[in-house]
C-alpha cells in the first residue's frame, strides 16, 4: 500500500496510537510516588493543560484561521499537552527506563492529539492528505484533450457499458498545472480519474474543478471517495476532477481575486486550470458538463467564478461556502486586494455579480448550495447566495447536512448530495 494513502481518521492507525498513548500513560502513573516528583508531574500536567487551552484561545482571538476553531480542538489539545507535561514532570527522580518511557510518551501524546483533532475535523482521511503529500498520477495515454469531444448526442449513461476489466475504484494523485497566464504560485493540483476513465477507449467525461478551504490544500481524497461510491452505483461513471489551489503556496486567503498582494488566483483557476484540462484530460468540452465546486473558502470562490463565467461552466456546487471571497477578513482584503476600495470589494461578491448581469445570463445553470445543519453562519451564507442565484434564473437546490457542523461531515455530506443532484444533469444517471 502507498504510505501516503494509509487511513488515519479511522481503522487501525488511530486505534493503535490511542492504545499506545493510554498504555504509556498508565506505565507513567503506576509508580511509588514521592512528594517532590509527584508535585512536578501534577504541576507539569496542569501547566500543559493551561498551555493547550491558551493556544486554542489565542488562535481564536487572533482569528488565524478565519472561522472560530471548534471546541473539540481545545479538548484534545489540552489533554495532549497535559499528558506531555505529566510525562516531563515524571522524569524528576525517575529511573532511567522511566525517563525513556516518558520521552517516548511525549512523542506519542502529541501524535494522539493530532490524530484526535484530525479525526474530529474529518478533512484529512489519509496521511498524505494531512501532510499535504500526494503521489503523482499517470494520465491515460489516449487522453487527447476534450477540445475534440463535444456534447454527446444522448446522456452518457444510456450508451455506456462498463467493460469486465474496469477497476472497482478510480485513481487519484497530483499534477503540476503550469501558471502560464497567471504566474500564480500554486501547489500541485489533486486529480481524480473515475473507473470509467481508466479503461481502453474510455468515454469523454464531465469535468469538475474543485477548491478546498482555508487553510487547506488541493487534496482529492474526500471528493474521490464520494465519487467512487457513486461510480460503483452507476457503472463506473463519474466526473473527472481537478482539485485546484486557489490559495497558493503561502496558503493565503487570496479572496478569489487577482491582486498584487496574493497573485492572480482568479486567472489561475479560470484560465490556466481550464486550459490545462482541455489539453490534458479526456473530457466533454461543453459548459453544460462542467462544474465549478468548492468547500468553505473554495465554495465562496465557486459561487464567484460561476457568477463571473457562465460561459465556462453551467453548474455550481458550493459546499459550506463562504458568502464571498475575503469574508473572514473584510478590512484586510479591502485594503490589500482592492486598494482600499469598498465599492470594488462589494462588486466582487457573487450576489452583486449576479445582480449586475444581463437578464438571461444564467439560463440553464444549476446551482447547489449546502451547509451543515449545525453551522448557522454558513446556513445564512448559503441562503443568501442561493436566493440571488434563484432570482437570476438558475435552478437552485439548497440542502443542510443533518447533524453536521463546518468540518468533514459537512464536506462529505454536501458533496454526496450535490453530486446526487448533478448526476442526471451531467448525463451520468437517469433523473
- Please, which residues have CB within 8 angstroms of residue 315's CB and are 6 or more apart in sequence? 288, 290, 291, 292, 306, 365, 366, 367, 422, 425, 426
Q: Is residue 147 over pLDDT 60?
A: no
pLDDT at site 380 = 97
* 171: helix, strand or coil: strand
pLDDT at site 134 = 67
The closest alpha carbon to 171, from 187, 195, 201, belongs to 195
* Mean pLDDT value of segment 190-206: 95
pLDDT at site 146 = 42
Using one digit for the tens of pLDDT, what is the confidence trace for 270-311? 999 999 999 999 999 999 999 999 999 999 999 999 999 999
Question: How sure is the predictor about 407, in pLDDT bands with cuts at 50, 70 and 90?
Answer: confident
User: What stretch of H or E contains 217?
Assistant: none
Q: Does 385 or 64 have the greater pLDDT score?
A: 385
Q: Is residue 193 over pLDDT 50?
A: yes
Question: How sure is the predictor about 9, in pLDDT bands with cuts at 50, 70 and 90?
Answer: confident
Q: Is residue 389 over pLDDT 80?
A: yes
* Mean pLDDT value of segment 36-46: 95
Q: Is residue 254 over pLDDT 60?
A: yes
Q: Is residue 395 over pLDDT 70?
A: yes
* Mean pLDDT value of segment 384-400: 98
Encode 170-184: b = buried (16+ Cβ within 10 Å), e = exposed.
bbbbbbebebeebeb
Give the percent of the chain with pLDDT over 70: 95
pLDDT at site 2 = 63
* Mean pLDDT value of segment 153-157: 91
* Mean pLDDT value of segment 32-56: 93
Q: Can you tell me the distance from the alpha carbon of 292 to that of 319, in angstroms, rounded to the nearest whole number?
A: 11
C-alpha cell belonging to residue 34: 514521592
* Mean pLDDT value of segment 104-114: 95
Q: Decide: 324 and 298 in contact? Cβ < 8 Å.
A: no
pLDDT at site 65 = 63
Considering Cα of 402, then 130, then 317, then 147, what sign does the dihedral take?
Answer: negative
CA-to-CA dists, residue 141 to 160, 272, 338, angstroms: 21, 22, 43
pLDDT at site 271 = 98
Using one digit for the tens of pLDDT, what is the confidence trace for 222-240? 999 999 999 999 999 999 9
Q: Peptide bond before 52: cis, by omega within 30 degrees of 0?
A: no
* Mean pLDDT value of segment 89-116: 95
Q: Is residue 163 over pLDDT 80?
A: yes
Which ranges in the chain are annotated with CATH 3.40.50.1820?
Answer: 143-425
C-alpha cell belonging to residue 46: 496542569
* Mean pLDDT value of segment 357-376: 97
pLDDT at site 142 = 53
CA-to-CA dists, residue 126 to 10, 18, 315, angstroms: 9, 17, 29
Question: How sure is the predictor about 66, in pLDDT bands with cuts at 50, 70 and 90?
Answer: low
Angle at CA 133, nearest 5°, toward 131 and 139? 155
* Mean pLDDT value of segment 19-40: 95
Q: Is residue 140 over pLDDT 80?
A: no
- Please, which residues have CB within 8 angstroms of residue 107's CB and are 6 or more apart in sequence? none
* Mean pLDDT value of segment 193-197: 97
Q: Is residue 11 over pLDDT 50?
A: yes
User: What stretch of H or E contains 68?
Assistant: none
pLDDT at site 64 = 62
Least confidently predicted of 58-62, 175-179, 260-264:
58-62
pLDDT at site 107 = 96
CA-to-CA dists, residue 199 to 146, 195, 240, angstroms: 17, 7, 14
Give the percent of the chain with pLDDT over 90: 79
Looking at every residue in the chain, the average pLDDT score rounds to: 92
* Helices and strands (H and E) in the chain: how many: 15, 10
* 111: helix, strand or coil: helix
Q: At 162, phi and psi to the nearest 5? A: -65, 135
Residue 246 CA, chain-centre distance (Å), reads 11
Q: Is residue 138 over pLDDT 60?
A: yes
Q: Can you tell me the distance from the alpha carbon of 38 to that of 29, in angstroms, rounded to the nearest whole number?
A: 10
Task: Answer whether CATH 3.30.70.20 is correct for domain 143-425.
Answer: no
Amino acid at each position: 500500500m502507498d504510505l501516503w494513502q494509509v487511513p488515519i481518521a479511522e481503522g487501525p492507525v488511530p486505534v493503535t496510537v490511542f492504545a499506545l498513548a493510554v498504555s504509556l500513560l498508565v506505565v507513567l502513573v503506576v509508580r511509588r510516588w514521592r512528594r517532590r516528583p509527584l508535585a512536578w508531574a501534577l504541576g507539569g500536567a496542569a501547566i500543559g493543560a493551561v498551555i493547550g487551552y491558551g493556544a486554542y484561545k489565542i488562535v481564536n482571538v487572533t482569528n488565524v484561521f478565519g472561522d472560530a476553531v471548534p471546541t473539540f480542538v481545545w479538548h484534545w489539545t489540552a489533554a495532549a499537552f497535559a499528558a506531555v507535561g505529566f510525562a516531563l514532570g515524571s522524569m524528576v527522580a525517575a529511573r532511567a527506563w522511566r525517563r525513556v518511557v516518558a520521552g517516548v510518551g511525549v512523542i506519542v501524546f502529541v501524535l494522539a492529539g493530532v490524530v484526535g483533532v484530525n479525526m474530529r475535523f474529518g478533512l484529512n482521511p489519509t496521511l498524505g492528505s494531512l501532510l499535504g503529500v500526494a503521489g503523482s498520477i499517470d494520465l491515460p495515454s489516449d487522453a487527447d484533450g476534450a477540445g475534440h469531444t463535444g456534447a454527446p448526442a444522448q446522456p452518457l449513461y444510456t450508451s455506456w457499458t462498463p467493460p469486465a476489466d474496469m477497476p472497482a475504484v478510480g485513481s487519484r494523485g497530483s499534477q503540476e498545472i503550469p501558471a502560464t497566464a497567471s504566474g500564480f504560485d500554486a501547489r500541485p493540483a489533486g486529480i481524480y480519474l473515475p473507473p470509467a476513465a481508466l479503461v481502453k477507449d474510455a468515454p469523454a467525461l464531465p469535468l469538475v474543478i474543485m477548491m478546498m478551504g482555508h487553510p487547506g490544500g488541493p487534496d482529492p481524497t474526500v471528493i474521490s471517495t464520494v465519487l467512487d461510491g457513486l461510480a460503483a452505483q452507476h457503472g463506473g461513471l463519474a466526473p473527472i476532477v481537478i482539485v485546484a489551489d486557489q490559495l497558493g503556496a503561502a496558503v493565503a486567503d487570496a479572496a478569489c481575486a487577482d491582486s498584487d498582494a496574493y497573485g492572480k488566483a482568479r486567472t489561475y483557476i479560470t484560465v490556466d486550470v481550464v486550459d490545462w484540462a482541455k489539453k490534458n484530460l479526456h473530457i466533454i468540452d461543453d459548459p453544460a458538463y462542467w462544474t465549478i465546486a468548492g468547500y468553505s473558502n473554495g465554495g465562496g470562490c465557486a459561487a464567484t467564478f460561476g457568477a463571473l463565467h457562465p460561459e465556462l461552466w453551467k453548474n455550481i456546487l458550493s459546499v459550506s461556502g463562504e458568502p464571498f471571497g475575503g469574508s473572514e477578513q473584510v478590512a484586510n482584503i479591502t485594503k490589500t486586494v482592492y486598494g482600499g476600495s469598498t465599492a470594488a470589494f462589494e462588486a466582487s461578491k457573487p450576489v452583486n455579480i449576479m445582480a449586475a448581469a444581463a437578464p438571461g445570463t444564467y439560463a440553464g445553470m444549476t446551482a447547489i448550495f449546502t451547509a451543515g445543519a449545525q453551522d448557522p453562519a454558513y446556513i445564512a451564507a448559503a441562503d443568501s447566495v442561493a436566493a440571488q442565484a434563484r432570482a437570476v434564473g438558475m435552478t437552485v437546490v439548497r440542502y443542510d447536512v443533518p447533524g453536521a457542523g463546518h468540518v468533514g461531515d459537512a464536506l462529505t455530506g454536501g458533496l454526496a448530495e450535490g453530486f446526487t443532484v448533478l448526476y442526471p444533469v451531467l448525463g451520468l444517471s437517469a433523473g
